[in-house]
Amino acid sequence: MANGNASVPGGKNGLNIEALKSLNWPTVILILVTGGGNFLATQNNSSQRQYQVDRAIDQIRDLHNALDNTEKRQREAIATFENLLNNDKQEISHLAATQGSQTLMLESQNKVMKLQTEILEKDSQILQQVSVIVHKFDRWKELEQHRGAPP
């Protein structure tokens, strides 16, 4: 009886049948049921909590993907707008050059028109002088015919 187990009949580690008989079994069962219920509730809550955490992580991942897609679309839109702006700048530059050329052309045409007007005015003056000469010549011819005709 040196090891201490011999003094406890029929049991290991100090547990004997008398102690088991003296237990209040309804209390033990209540403790086991309550503990088991708590264990199941904890497991259920843990499962629900894990499901909610997983769902939240999925939603966050979806939000990140949506933000990434939005950012990508915005960058593409900005690139498109920049491209359109560059095209518009080139077009404006081209239009400005064309307008400058047209302005020079119109100025040249105005100079030509002014010179043609001057030429027409001089031609008009010459025609008036020729008309005066022709009338004088006709009058002279008429007078010559009257002078040479017998009375």
Query: 17 Cβ partners below 8 Å, 6+ apart?
Result: 9, 10, 11
**pLDDT: which is higher, 120 or 3:** 120
pLDDT reading at 79 higher than 50 = yes
Q: How far apart are CA 72 and CA 66, in angstroms?
A: 10
From residue 109, give the alpha-carbon distance in Å to each of 66, 77, 112, 124, 138: 62, 46, 5, 22, 42
* pTM for this predicted structure: 0.42
* Percent of the chain scoring above 70 in pLDDT: 87
Mean pLDDT of 69-97: 94
Chain centroid to CA 105: how far?
41
Strand, helix or coil for residue 23 = coil
Residue 55 token pair: 């769902």
97 with 90: CB under 8 angstroms? Answer: no
**pLDDT: which is higher, 13 or 19:** 19
- Residue that has been written with the tokens 């290991």 in this structure: 12
